[in-house]
Amino acid sequence: MADGNDEKQRQLDRYRVDSEGSRLTTDQGVRVDDTDNSLSAGERGPTLLEDFHFREKITRFDHERIPERVVHARGAGAYGYFQLYESLAEFTAADFLCDTSLRTPVFVRFSTVAGSRGSADTVRDVRGFATKFYTRQGNYDLVGNNMPVFFIQDGIKFPDFVHAVKPEPHNEIPQAQSAHDTFWDFVQLQPEITHMVMWLMSDRAIPRSFRMMQGFGVHTFRLVNADGRGTFVKFHWRPVLGTHSLVWDEVLRIQGNDPDFNRRDLWEAIERGAFPEWELGLQLVPEEDEHGFDFDLLDATKIIPEETVPVRVVGRMVLDRNPDNFFAETEQVAFHTANVVPGIDFTNDPLLQARNFSYLDTQLIRLGGPNFAQIPVNRPVAPVHNDQRDGYNQRIVHRGRTSYAPNSISGGCPMSGVLSGDMEGVYRHYQERVDGAKIRKRSPSFDDHYSQATLFWNSMSGWERRHIVEAFLFELGHVERRYIKEQVVQRLANVDGDLARQVAEGLGMPAPAVTTPNHGRTSPALSQANAPRDSIA
Ligand code: HEM
């Protein structure tokens, strides 16, 4: 076990139970001599209600399942550590990004998005890449994906999007595939999805291994330094093994042969000491440059081209220990974009704002009430003291007479901050000026849905383009309604005429009228950009 995990590991050890070799008991600690035969009235008689061992055993079994995640249900996780190369104190007050001597423990969960818990690993889908940093200032979660952009711009559309991607409601078909009418109907009706669909039809959607996958925070976040100065930031994880994908033919065979292909690969690599490693990169944008781009930094369907803002590599993460128990750790881990530490803050990206509501809300039901931060994998290593009380699954015995603040009877938890004059380590929200009328209307700066889709296509090599066209043909080939296919092809004409023509021909449809793919908003900097820098091997 590497020393980076020590702090978290010591905490986890306190909650570990090793039952192997111990004598069988009930949950009440009463020893049991027979767990094969229920208590009955005579050898061939009925089972007796008073058989508390039988009832407890069956009840516990009946209640084993909790709801799977509403998205990202299938995943695999591991522990490890993060270490910084250079201090970022100029940009952030987060001490794990300032102190290069720290080894911050982490837990990472990789996932597919659409499939259920029992679905196959190697489907065409986005992969989740969620990292929990157990920092000395509290937990920080970077809840990202393996693609740098997203399907929608505003989180209010997330339920519509997920309902379109998930199996259709009447027959639960198809599992974990984007090859169906509802998904492509959403695509043809929502042009903002076009850039992400290009990524989804590319080989990025079929990663060879979690160890060979990039990760992206997707949104523009904000770093805030000790003086309160903000800097926009995009987060990137770069796998030291390089970015590698499967090819479609392999995918089809692997799904039948080994549906656990990706999770097995991660588990076995860690067991044999081939610890996967990623470097953390940042794209930093000074606040005053916020409006210097031909797209909106708050629009999660856009990358910041690396030619415009290079990625600065600032640290590395190593995963070096498998969990002891899948359910307790990988299934019960709870990531949340709103878990931030001093020095990291949000922007007004409407997708991020929605996420900041959604994760806590869903975890309240998924993990049985408000006390899930007490589950060992979710506990911060930073001390937790407050007046939150009670609720389902309360595991902590709070001592003392009072649970309110301020209070004059027992002192309670004195507030740090302005009242006490003690501001050390306090989370201070970035003081962004906000004013405007209440409106339900997207900013026109979010209007260009095609330029970066075109950039992506232009950055692909010949064989990468061929794979993309084949992916469109496979997926759209499963769509029943002809008008949906026609509309999708029409959208592709806004991306690239040749792409649209190849897809149309492959589907046996006439080539669409080609729109000139200069969408009126492409800057010189953007037009030279090449979205995916790493080649996909
Ligand atoms: C789960 C990423 C957008 C709601 C997840 C997970 C990841 C992720 C990685 C799995 C976490 C885990 O391993 O436990 C992203 C990214 C997004 C995005 C990168 C866009 C940039 C959204 C939006 C919403 C949302 C817009 C809702 C408004 C959820 C929910 C879960 C989830 C409810 C399940 C959480 C749980 O049950 O613990 N997301 N997501 N996501 N996401 Fe997102």
For residue 110, how far is its CA from the centre of ligand 1 (angstroms)? 12
Give, for ligand 1, the residue of 113, 143, 301 to mutate: max count of ligand atoms closer than 8 Å to Cβ: 143
Q: Which residue out of 70, 204, 263, 358 has the highest number of ligand 1 atoms within 8 Å of its CB and is therefore the one to mutate?
A: 358
Annotated binding residues for heme: 69, 109, 158, 355, 359, 366
Low-confidence winner among 190-194, 307-311, 377-381, 512-516 (lowest mean pLDDT): 512-516
Weakest-pLDDT range from 4-18, 233-247, 372-386: 4-18
Marked catalytic residue, from 72, 180, 219, 467: 72
Report CA(435)–ligand 1 centroid distance (Å): 29
CA distance 164 to 157: 11
C-alpha 4 – ligand 1 centre gap (Å): 27
At which residue do the structure tokens 């990291």 appear? Answer: 344
For the CA of 217, the closest atom of ligand 1 is 19
**pLDDT at residue 517, as a whole number:** 54
Residues in a beta bridge with 315: 84, 280
Q: Where are the alpha helices (DSSP H) in 143-260?
A: 158-165, 181-189, 194-200, 248-257
Residue 2 has pLDDT above 80, yes or no: no
Judge whether 213 and 270 are in contact, CB under 8 Å: no
For residue 69, how far is its CA from the centre of ligand 1 (angstroms)? 9
* Assigned token pair, 501: 């023509």
Residues 6 or more apart whose CB falls under 8 angstroms from that of 121 comprise 74, 112, 259, 260, 261, 262, 263
Residue of the CA atom closest to atom 5 of ligand 1: 72
Would you state the pLDDT for residue 176? 65
ipTM of this predicted complex? Answer: 0.95
- Pairwise CA distance, residues 89 & 30, whole Å: 56
* 145 part of the active site: yes
Mean pLDDT of all residues in the chain?
93
Residue with more model confidence, 469 or 420: 469
Protein residue with its CA nearest to atom 24 in ligand 1: 355
Q: Residue 152 C-alpha to ligand 1 middle, in angstroms? A: 13
- pLDDT given for residue 109 in this prediction: 99
Give the burial class of 342: count Cβ atoms within 10 A of its Cβ; 0-12 exposed, 13-18 middle, 19 or more buried.
Answer: buried
pLDDT tens track for 471-511 = 999 999 999 999 999 999 999 999 999 999 999 999 999 99
| Candidate from 98-107, 267-276, 514-523 with smallest mean pLDDT | 514-523
Beta-bridge partners for 47: 40
What global pTM score does this model have? Answer: 0.94
Q: How far is the CA of 71 from the centre of ligand 1 (A)?
A: 7
Among protein residues, the one whose CA lies closest to atom 18 of ligand 1: 355
Q: 530 pLDDT exceeds 60?
A: no
Angle between the N-to-C axes of helices 497-506 and 462-477, in degrees from 0 to 180, rounded to the nearest 10:
40
Q: Which atom of ligand 1 is nearest to the CA of 218?
A: 21
Catalytic annotation present for 195: no
**Ligand 1 atom at minimum distance from 300 CA:** 21
Give buried/exposed letters for 113-137 (b at 16+ CB in 10 A, else e): bbbeeebbbbbbbbbbbbbbbbbbb
Residue bearing the CA closest to ligand 1, atom 13: 109
The residues near 413 (Cβ < 8 Å, ≥ 6 apart) are 385, 386, 387, 405
At 345-368, the pLDDT tens digits run: 999 999 999 999 999 999 999 999
- State how beta strands 230-239 and 312-321 pair: unpaired
pLDDT band, residue 537 (cuts 50/70/90) = very low
Q: Which atom of ligand 1 is nearest to the CA of 361?
A: 33
Separation in Å, CA 352 to CA 217, 219, 311, 347:
10, 7, 22, 8
Question: Is the pLDDT at 518 greater than 70, yes or no?
Answer: no
- 91 contacts 225 by C-beta, under 8 angstroms: yes
**List 5, 139, 145, 494, catalytic entry:** 145
CA of 148 relative to ligand 1 center, distance in Å: 14
Pocket test for ligand 1, best of 216, 359, 364 (most atoms within 8 A of CB): 359
3-state DSSP call for residue 314?
Answer: strand
Instruction: Give residue 6's pLDDT.
Output: 86
| pLDDT given at position 416 | 64
Quick check: 420 pLDDT over 80?
no
140 contact partners, CB below 8 Å, separation of at least 6: 94, 96, 132, 133, 339, 340, 341, 344
Work out the pLDDT band at 293, boundaries 50, 70, 90: very high
Query: Residue with the nearest Cα to atom 31 of ligand 1?
Result: 71
pLDDT tens track for 131-182: 999 999 999 999 999 999 999 999 999 999 999 999 999 999 987 677 789 9
Binding site, residues? 69, 109, 158, 355, 359, 366
> For ligand 1, what atom is nearest to the CA of residue 109?
13
**Spacing of C-alpha 63 from chain mean position:** 27
| pLDDT greater than 60 at residue 343 | yes
In the structure, which protein residues have their CB atom closer than 6 angstroms to any atom of ligand 1?
69-72, 75, 109, 111, 128, 130, 143-145, 150, 155, 158, 218-219, 300, 333-335, 351, 354-355, 358-359, 362-363, 366
